[in-house]
Amino acid sequence: MDKAAEMARRQQLPTADLEVYFPFNGSAITPEAVATLRLLGEALSDPRFRSSRFIIAGHTDGRGGVAYNLALSQARAVAVRRWLIDTYKLEPQNLTARGFGKSQLKNRANPLADENRRVQVINWTGLDTRPKRKR
């Protein structure tokens, strides 16, 4: 999945940073997040996206250690994925949760900023993430 996210960034695939904020040290879906997630769920439920595949990428702010932030960002991505599957009956195999910890800060000038604690959605439909074969 790391390769897919890197390829998406390099190839500028369609992505969306969602304003789904999480409490400090938390991964629970808040009532404030539900409005944004409903918009996402409705979009992903569109028949045109029925067979599309997405990475739900979780991120943290710059506080804390690497291992802790990786686990927390993974928990955030899993929470959003589970909410979308449960609420909109989306196909689980089309949504992959992946945590990136504090490695991809949205606000690098302020690593502790709230907007760093977010979820990003990457459309990786058709992206070939298999290793290249040597000839």
Q: Does residue 25 surpass a pLDDT of 60?
A: yes
Report the SS3 class of residue 119.
strand
Of 3.20.20.70, 1.10.3720.10, 3.40.640.10, 3.30.1330.60, which CATH number belongs to 2-123? 3.30.1330.60
Q: Reply yes or no on whether the pLDDT at 42 is more than 70.
A: yes
What is the mean predicted confidence (pLDDT) over 21-45? 89
Q: Model's pTM, two decimal places?
A: 0.81
Strands 119-123 and 54-58, by their bridges, are antiparallel
- Mean pLDDT for the chain overall: 84
Residue 3 pLDDT level (bands cut at 50, 70, 90): low
Domain boundaries defined on the chain = 2-123
Tokens of 21: 């904020």
Q: In which order are the strands placed within the sheet that holds 119-123?
A: 15-18, 119-123, 54-58, 95-99
- Dig out the tokens for 84 from the structure: 């979308």
